[in-house]
Structure 1
Amino acid sequence: MSDTAVVVVDMMNTYQHPDAEELIPNVEKIMDPLADLVRRARQAGGVDLVYVNDNYGDFTAQFSDIVGSALNGARPDLVKPIVPSEGCRVMTKVRHSAFYATALAYLLGRLETKRLILTGQVTEQCILYTALDAYVRHFPVVIPSDAVAHIDADLGRAALKMMEQNMSAELTTAADCLG
C-alpha cells in the first residue's frame, strides 16, 4: 500500500479508430516521459501502478485481450514500452471516466491512496473526466502534462487549465511528479 497511485488511462490502444490520425503524433510525444514514469513507479516503494483501459464495447474481453489487440494493432511501438507487468493492477472501463462503473474508487480506498497521478489519453476526454471524478471523491490529482496526449491541441490545453483551476490539479512533468 502507498499514498500515491499512478493511473495509466487508455494506453492499450489499437490506433485503428476515427481519431487515430490526430492522436498518434501526440501519443508519440508522451511515450518517453510516460515510459520513464511507469518504470520509476514500478521501482519505487510507496507507489501503486494501476492501468484502466476502455473495453471498446467488448464485454467479454479480459484485460490481457485488450493488451493483445493493442500489441497487434497499428502502432505496437506505442504500447510495448508501457505494457502492464505480471501481477499489475488492471481494470476495464466502459465510458470516459476511469471511475465510472469500475472498482477504482474501492481499490484506491483499500490502498489508502492519498494522491493520484493521472497519465494517458485523451486529455480533453478520459483524463479530464477521470480528474473530475477524482476531485469529487477528494483525491488530490497530479497531471504530468508531458504524459497525457490530446486529440485537439486547443481542447487539450483547455482541459489542463480546467483541471488546474476548477479541480485544484497540480500540473507538473513526468520527471517531477514522483518527488
Structure 2
Amino acid sequence: MEAYVYGVKRSLPAGFEDYFDRSATAIVSIDMHEGHLADSPDCPCPAPRAREIVAPINAFHRSARVLGVPIIHVRSVLRKSGVDDLNGIPSAWRATFPLYVGPISGADAHAIEGSRWTNFVTEVAEGDEIVETKKRLSAFYPTDLDFLLRNMRVTTLVLNGGFTDCCVLNTAFDASNRTYRVIVARDLARGTNEEMEDAALKMISLHLGLVMDSADILQAWSQRQSSPARMIE
C-alpha cells in the first residue's frame, strides 16, 4: 500500500490495516453539484477544475459499489428565505473569496433549495445515501452525517470532491477530530488552484489521515478478496 506523505509517494509501514476494512468504510463525496460545476456564467460558486474529476469519480464509485463500499453524496442546501446565509449571518467566503477571484455574479443563488444549483452532476445510484443540509464548509456542519455514519458502523471515510483546500480539508479535520480514519483520494479532489490543493493535501497527510490515489485505494480493498478490483468505466 502506498500513500503520499508531504507530496511524496511512499510505501506504508505496518499499522494501517484498519484504514482498509471495507466493511467499516464509506465514501463521502462533497459538493459535486451544479452550483460548483455548471459551465455557465451564472454558476454561483464556480469550481471549473473539478469538472475534470466528474467521470473519474463516477468510475471510482461504480467500482466501490461492486466491492460493497457505500457512497454518501453531500451537497450544500440553503433555505429559500436566505436566513441560513445572506439574510442571517453571511458565510465568511462571500467576503473573502472574491478578494482573490474577483466578483462572483451569481453568488446570491448559491445552494438555494429547489434550484438547479443543488442538482448533482456525479451519478447517484439506488442504495447511495444523500446528506443535504450542509450550510458551511464541513460536511459535518450542521448535518446528520455523523449520525448516519455511526448507524452504518463506519469508522473510515474516503473523501473526494471539492474544494480540496476548503470543504474537503474542513471535513477531514472534523472527521479526524471525531476519531474517524480519513483517506483523501488525491486524484478525485480539486482545489482552488494547484498550489492550494497541494498545500491542503500536505496538511492532511501530516495531521489528519492518508492521501492516496484512487487506484491504490481500490487495490488495498481488493487484497481482502480473491481477485483484484479494477476501475469500472
Aligning the two structures, in what range does the TM-score lie when normalised by the shorter sequence? 0.7 to 0.9
How far residue 161 of structure 1 moved from its aligned partner, in angstroms, is: 0.6
Residue 8 of structure 2 is matched in structure 1 by none
| 1:117–1:143 Cα contact (<8 Å) kept | yes
Matches within 5 A, 1:88-99: 88-92=128-132, 93-99=134-140
% same residue: 30
Residue 85 of structure 1 is matched in structure 2 by 125
Q: TM-score, normalization: structure 1?
A: 0.80
Determine the C-alpha separation between the residues in 1 that align with 2:81 and 2:215.
36
Cα 1:150–1:56 change in 2 (3 A) is farther
Residue 173 of structure 1 is matched in structure 2 by 213
SS in 2 for 1:101: coil
- Which of 11, 16, 30 is residue 53 of structure 2 equivalent to? 30
Determine the C-alpha separation between the residues in 2 that align with 1:58 and 1:6.
29
Per-residue CA deviation, residues 61-102 of structure 1 (Å, 9 max, x unaligned), is xxx946x5455xxxx9xx1xx221234210111110000111
- Which of 6, 9, 12 is residue 33 of structure 2 equivalent to? 12
How far residue 156 of structure 1 moved from its aligned partner, in angstroms, is: 1.1
SS in 2 for 1:11: coil
Q: TM-score, normalization: structure 2?
A: 0.63
| 2:58–2:123 Cα contact (<8 Å) kept | no
Q: Which consecutive residues of structure 2, in runs of 5 or more, have no partner in the other structure?
A: 1-21, 83-112, 222-233
Residue 93 of structure 2 is matched in structure 1 by none
Determine the C-alpha separation between the residues in 2 that align with 1:58 and 1:118.
28
Aligned residues: 164
How far residue 153 of structure 1 moved from its aligned partner, in angstroms, is: 1.7
Determine the C-alpha separation between the residues in 2 that align with 1:174 and 1:57.
35
Matches within 5 A, 1:47-66: 47-56=69-78, 58=80, 65=114
- Which of 37, 45, 64 is residue 41 of structure 1 equivalent to? 64
Determine the C-alpha separation between the residues in 2 that align with 1:115 and 1:2.
9
Cα 1:160–1:7 change in 2 (3 A) is same
**1:161 pairs with 2:207:** no
Residue 225 of structure 2 is matched in structure 1 by none
CA root-mean-square deviation: 2.7
Determine the C-alpha separation between the residues in 1 that align with 2:152 and 2:185.
22
Determine the C-alpha separation between the residues in 1 that align with 2:185 and 2:79.
28
